[in-house]
Amino acid sequence: PEDATAAAEAVSVAVRAARRGLLRLGLCNGEWAERLRLELEPADFGPGVERRVFESLQAAGNEGHWRDHVTSSEDDSYGSELEFEGPPPGEPDQLFH
């Protein structure tokens, strides 16, 4: 049971890191934002702020003004934090697999 719990927590941490990395890509570059819109959907981000930021990216479309589509200061703050961090290290394509 402890091993299963530890494994589930490790997967959860990895999934959150991947979601965060995908959002960072989309917020820093229009081409990556387009790929996110084409290949992912809100359910891929689960409930919460990550999903809402993704929905803002979707709603912005090619214009890229995601902040015009946020609905709360929490969403704006989280998106701004990710945008400021810039793209994640490593090979971005790996985040899509």
Chain segment 26-73, per-residue pLDDT in tens: 999 889 999 999 999 999 998 999 999 999 999 998 888 999 999 999
Contact in structure between 25 and 32 (CB atoms under 8 Å)? yes
**Amino acid sitting at position 3:** D
pTM to 2 decimals? 0.85
DSSP string, 14-58: HHHHHHHHHHHHHHH-HHHHHHHHHH--GGGG-SSHHHHHHHHHH
